[in-house]
C-alpha cells in the first residue's frame, strides 16, 4: 500500500497544503503523478508531492493523524509530469510570488496534462494508422483479399482510413498478411520556409555579439533603437548556442509577434523549432509540449507561458521587447516571465538576454548598477535617420479638420500624401471598438458591466456592448433601461471608428485592422500582418499589437491618433507605458529606404512622456521618470506588493480589509508604507466585491516575511479570499 500526499486542484490559500490518501492499486504512483481523488464529496484531480510505502493497517495511521484517510480512485499518469529542473523552478516561483503551488503547476503544464479535472477530457496523443505488408503469401485468400493485399504491397504503407473495404482488411490482419503501424500525428501545421542566408553583421552588431560571448555575466540588457537589428543578434547568438549542443528559449510579448519571430527562426533553423503560446488549441499545445519534452527540437519560440517549456540543457533565454507589460501575468500566480527567465538561467547556467528599444525602468536601473550587463545598438541598420515627428495639439482649434473630429489637418494631409505616393501608413489608437462608452442623453445613465462595474465599449461590427476587462457581452439596446428614452449617445472612439472614418475620408484606401477583436480568430493575426507586408492594404489600423517589433519596409507614416489614452491608466507605470508605446510606434516608420514621419495627436502636448517620445530620447525620459519614482517611492527604489480581499458581503470585505491594513502597519512599523484601502479599477469579480491595499517597502526580505504571515493568518477564513500580487503592474 502507498500513502500519497497531494495538492488539490483548487488554487486558493486555504487549500495550499497536502492532503493524504492511500492507494492499493496495481498502477505505479510516485511524486509528480496526477491522481483522481474524492475531496469533499467531489471527484477532483490531485498532484502528488510525496509518496511512501505503508504496510500497517490504515486505521493505525488514521488514529495517529486524527482524521480519516480517503482512497485514491485512480492514477492518471504513467510517468511524472515534470522533470526535476521544472519541479525546482515551481518551488522557486511559488516561494517568490507567494502563490499556491498548484496554481504554478497549472501554469506550467498544457491543458491535457494540467492538474485539473478538465484535463481528463482534454486532447491526448493523436495517431495516424498505416497498413503495411508483413507477408505476401496469397495461399488461402479470397480473390478480394488477394486484390487488396497486392494493392497494399505495391506501396510502402497506406493510411488505414483510405481503405474502404474494412471487412476484407480485417481478414488480412487476422491472417497475418498485413499489420497496423501507429505514427503520432502533429496537429500544429508549422509552415515551411526557404532557408535564408544570414546577412553580414554590422560593425555595431558584431561588437555586441562579441561582448556577449566574451563576458561571463548571467543577465544582459540589449538596448537598441528601433530598426537597429536586434533580431539578427538574437539569431546569431542562437546559432552559436546550438553549435555548443545547447537549447534556446525565445520569448516575445504578444501573440501577434509570434508568427514573425517564428518565421525568422524557421528560415534559419527549420525542423528544430517548436511553438508555444496561448492561442494554440489544447491539442496543438499538447503535441508541441511532448515534442519539446522528448528532445526532438532545441528551440522554443513563444509568448509568456513558454518560459515553462520543458527544454533541457538551456544555453540562452531571450526576451524580446522585455519592457512590455504582458510578460507579467495578471491572474494568479502573478509571475513575471523576466524573473522566471532569470531563475531558469541560474538553474542551467545559461545567459539571459533582455532586448528592447525602450527598456523597462526596472531593467535599466539594474543595468546602471551593473546587476545586468548593458549592451547598446545606437544606430539603425541602414544608418537611416529616425522619423521626423510632429506633435499636434488637439486643444488648438486651428489644428482641427472641420470635416473630421478624429484627424487633425496635418494628419489627414499626410495620409493623403502617403496614398498618392503608393506607400503605407500605420494608425495607432490603444483602444478597440467603435465608442468607449454609451450613455442616455436624457437621464445620463451609463451602460456598465454587471460583473466589473466599468463602462461597456460599443462595437459596431457586431452591434454589441463589450467589457474589455472580463469579456462580458450583450446586444446594444434600443432604449435606456432607467428611463426608457431612445436617445443613446456613443462617446469616444476606438479602432473600429477610425477605420470607418478612413473609409469616409479616403474612399479608395484599402485598410486592415489588427486588435484583440480581429485577432480572436487565431489565423487572422499572421494573415493580416502578411497582407499588409505584401502591400494588399494601404493603411493598418490597430492597438498596441501593431506598435512593437513589426518590420514593414513601405511604411513611411505613423499616426498616433490619441496619445493621451495610456497616460490615464490606473498604474504608476502609466507615463513609462505611454512613452514606450509612442516610441515603439514611431519606430515602425521609415525603416528601409524611404524617410519616415510620425504625427502624434494629443490634448496634452507638453507632457514630458509625449515630448520626449517624439524626440526618441530614452536617456532623457529615464532620468526624468526615475526622479519621479524616487520622490514617490516607487520601483525601482522600493519593492511593491498589492493585497486584494474578495468576498460576497461588502461589509465583511471592508472590515477585513481595514483589519488587514492595521495588521500590516503593526508588522512593518515605519519600515514600509501601506496605502489603502482602495476600490480597484474593476471593483467586482463575478459576484464578489474587491478591495485592495498597496505596500511599498525597501527591504524585500521583510516584505516577503510579513506577507507570508498575513497569508497564514487569512488562509482559513471562508467568508473572504486574500490574494497577494508581488511586483504588481496595475492596482
Question: For residue 520, is pLDDT > 70?
Answer: no
Q: What average pLDDT does this structure show over 638-660?
A: 93
- The reported pLDDT for the residue numbered 549 is 72
382-400, pLDDT tens digit by residue?
777 889 999 999 999 999 9
Q: What average pLDDT does this structure show over 83-106?
A: 94
Do 388-434+493-630 and 2-121 fall under one CATH topology? Answer: no
Hey, which residues does 539 pair with through a beta bridge? 425, 511
**In sequence order, what DSSP letters do the residues of 668-704 get, joined into one string?**
HTTSEEEEEEE--SS-EETTEEEEEEEEEES-HHHHH
Q: pLDDT band at 625, cuts 50/70/90? A: very high
* Sheet order of strands, 351-356 included: 273-276, 299-302, 247-251, 314-320, 351-356, 219-224, 373-377
- The reported pLDDT for the residue numbered 519 is 65
**Rounded to 5°, angle at Cα 342 from 337 and 344:** 90
527-574, pLDDT tens digit by residue?
888 899 999 999 999 988 888 778 888 999 999 999 998 887 778 999
Q: What average pLDDT does this structure show over 700-717?
A: 92
Helix axes 258-269 and 524-533, enclosed angle (nearest 10): 80
Could you tell me what percent of the chain has a pLDDT over 90?
67
Hey, which residues does 173 pair with through a beta bridge? none
Q: What average pLDDT does this structure show over 593-609?
A: 93
CATH topology of domain 2-121: GIY-YIG endonuclease (3.40.1440)
Highest mean pLDDT among 50-54, 226-230, 663-667: 663-667
Q: What average pLDDT does this structure show over 198-203?
A: 92
What residues does each domain of the chain span?
Answer: 2-121, 127-184, 203-377, 388-434+493-630, 639-726
Question: For residue 259, is pLDDT > 90?
Answer: no
349-371, pLDDT tens digit by residue?
999 999 999 999 999 999 999 99
- The reported pLDDT for the residue numbered 523 is 66
Q: pLDDT band at 455, cuts 50/70/90? A: confident
Cα–Cα dist 471/301, whole Å: 28
Q: Does domain 388-434+493-630 have CATH number 3.40.50.300?
A: yes
Q: Which pTM does this prediction carry? A: 0.90
Burial (CB < 10 A; 0-12, 13-18, 19+), residue 382, is exposed
Peptide bond into 333 cis (omega under 30): yes
CB-based burial, 455-464: b 16+ in 10 Å, e otherwise: bbbbbbeeee
Q: Domain 639-726 in CATH: superfamily?
A: Ribosomal protein S10 (3.30.70.600)
Q: What is the CATH number of domain 203-377?
A: 3.40.50.300
Q: pLDDT band at 522, cuts 50/70/90? A: low
Amino acid at each position: 500500500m502507498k500513502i500519497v500526499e497531494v495538492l488539490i486542484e483548487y488554487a486558493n490559500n486555504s487549500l495550499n497544503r497536502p492532503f493524504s490518501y492511500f492507494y492499493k492499486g496495481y498502477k505505479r504512483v510516485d511524486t509528480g503523478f496526477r491522481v483522481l481523488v474524492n475531496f469533499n464529496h467531489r471527484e477532483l484531480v490531485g498532484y502528488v508531492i510525496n509518496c511512501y510505502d505503508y504496510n500497517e493497517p490504515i486505521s493505525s495511521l488514521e488514529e495517529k493523524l486524527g482524521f480519516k484517510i480517503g482512497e485514491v480512485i485512480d492514477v492518471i499518469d504513467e510517468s511524472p509530469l515534470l522533470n526535476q529542473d521544472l519541479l525546482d523552478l515551481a518551488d522557486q516561483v511559488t516561494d517568490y510570488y507567494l502563490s499556491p503551488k498548484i496554481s504554478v503547476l497549472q501554469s506550467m503544464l498544457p491543458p491535457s496534462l494540467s492538474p485539473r479535472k478538465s484535463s481528463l477530457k482534454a486532447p491526448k496523443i493523436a495517431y495516424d494508422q498505416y497498413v503495411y505488408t508483413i507477408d505476401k503469401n496469397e495461399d488461402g485468400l479470397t480473390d478480394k483479399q488477394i486484390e487488396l493485399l497486392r494493392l497494399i504491397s505495391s506501396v510502402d504503407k497506406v493510411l488505414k482510413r483510405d481503405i474502404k473495404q474494412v471487412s476484407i482488411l480485417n481478414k488480412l490482419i487476422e491472417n497475418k498478411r498485413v499489420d497496423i503501424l501507429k505514427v503520432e500525428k502533429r496537429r500544429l501545421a508549422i509552415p515551411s520556409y526557404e532557408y535564408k542566408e544570414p546577412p553580414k553583421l554590422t560593425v555595431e552588431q558584431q561588437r555586441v555579439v562579441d561582448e556577449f560571448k566574451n563576458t561571463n555575466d548571467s543577465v544582459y540588457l540589449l538596448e537598441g533603437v528601433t530598426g537597429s537589428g536586434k533580431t539578427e543578434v538574437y539569431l546569431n547568438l542562437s546559432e552559436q548556442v546550438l553549435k555548443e549542443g545547447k537549447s534556446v528559449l525565445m520569448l516575445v510579448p504578444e501573440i501577434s509577434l509570434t508568427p514573425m519571430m517564428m518565421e525568422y527562426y524557421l528560415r534559419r533553423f527549420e525542423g528544430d523549432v517548436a511553438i508555444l503560446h496561448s492561442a494554440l488549441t489544447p491539442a496543438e499545445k499538447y503535441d508541441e509540449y511532448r515534442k519539446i519534452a522528448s528532445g526532438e527540437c532545441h528551440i522554443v519560440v513563444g509568448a509568456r507561458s513558454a518560459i515553462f517549456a520543458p527544454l533541457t540543457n538551456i544555453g540562452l533565454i531571450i526576451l524580446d521587447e522585455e519592457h512590455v507589460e504582458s510578460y507579467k501575468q495578471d491572474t494568479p500566480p502573478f509571475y513575471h516571465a523576466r524573473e522566471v527567465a532569470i531563475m531558469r538561467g541560474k538553474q542551467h547556467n545559461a545567459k539571459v538576454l533582455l532586448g528592447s528599444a525602450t527598456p523597462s525602468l526596472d531593467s535599466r536601473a539594474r543595468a546602471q548598477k551593473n546587476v545586468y550587463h548593458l549592451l547598446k545598438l545606437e544606430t539603425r541598420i541602414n544608418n537611416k535617420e529616425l522619423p521626423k515627428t510632429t506633435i499636434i495639439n488637439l486643444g488648438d482649434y486651428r489644428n482641427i479638420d472641420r470635416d473630421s473630429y478624429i484627424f487633425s489637418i496635418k494628419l489627414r494631409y499626410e495620409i493623403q500624401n502617403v496614398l498618392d505616393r503608393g506607400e503605407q501608413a500605420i494608425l495607432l489608437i490603444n483602444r478597440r471598438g467603435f465608442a468607449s462608452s454609451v450613455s442616455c442623453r436624457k437621464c445620463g445613465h451609463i451602460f456598465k458591466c454587471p460583473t466589473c462595474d466599468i463602462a461597456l465599449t460599443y462595437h459596431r461590427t457586431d452591434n454589441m456592448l463589450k467589457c474589455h476587462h472580463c469579456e462580458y457581452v450583450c446586444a446594444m439596446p434600443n432604449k435606456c433601461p432607467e428611463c426608457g428614452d431612445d436617445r443613446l449617445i456613443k462617446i469616444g472612439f476606438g479602432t473600429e471608428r477610425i477605420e470607418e472614418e478612413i473609409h469616409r475620408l479616403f474612399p479608395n484606401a484599402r485598410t486592415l485592422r489588427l486588435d484583440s477583436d480581429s485577432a480572436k480568430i487565431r489565423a487572422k493575426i499572421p494573415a493580416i500582418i502578411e497582407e499588409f507586408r505584401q502591400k494588399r492594404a494601404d493603411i493598418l489600423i490597430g492597438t498596441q499589437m501593431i506598435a512593437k517589433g513589426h518590420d514593414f519596409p513601405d511604411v513611411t507614416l505613423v499616426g498616433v491618433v490619441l496619445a493621451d489614452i495610456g497616460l490615464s491608466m490606473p498604474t504608476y507605470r502609466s507615463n513609462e507605458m505611454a512613452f514606450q508605446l509612442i516610441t515603439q510606434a514611431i519606430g515602425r516608420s521609415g525603416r528601409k529606404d524611404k524617410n519616415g514621419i510620425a504625427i502624434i495627436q494629443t490634448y496634452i502636448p507638453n507632457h514630458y512622456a509625449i515630448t520626449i517620445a517624439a524626440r526618441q530620447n530614452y536617456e532623457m525620459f529615464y532620468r526624468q521618470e526615475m526622479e519621479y519614482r524616487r520622490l514617490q517611492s516607487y520601483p525601482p527604489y522600493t519593492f511593491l506588493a498589492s493585497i486584494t480581499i474578495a468576498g460576497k458581503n461588502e461589509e465583511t470585505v471592508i472590515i477585513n480589509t481595514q483589519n488587514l491594513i492595521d495588521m500590516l502597519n503593526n508588522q512593518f512599523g515605519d519600515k514600509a508604507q501601506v496605502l489603502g484601502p482602495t476600490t480597484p479599477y474593476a471593483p467586482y469579480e463575478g459576484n464578489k466585491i474587491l478591495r485592495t491595499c498597496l505596500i511599498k517597502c525597501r527591504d524585500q526580505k521583510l516584505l516577503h516575511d510579513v506577507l507570508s504571515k498575513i497569508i497564514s493568518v487569512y488562509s482559513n477564513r471562508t467568508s473572504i479570499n486574500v490574494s497577494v500580487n508581488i511586483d504588481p503592474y496595475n492596482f
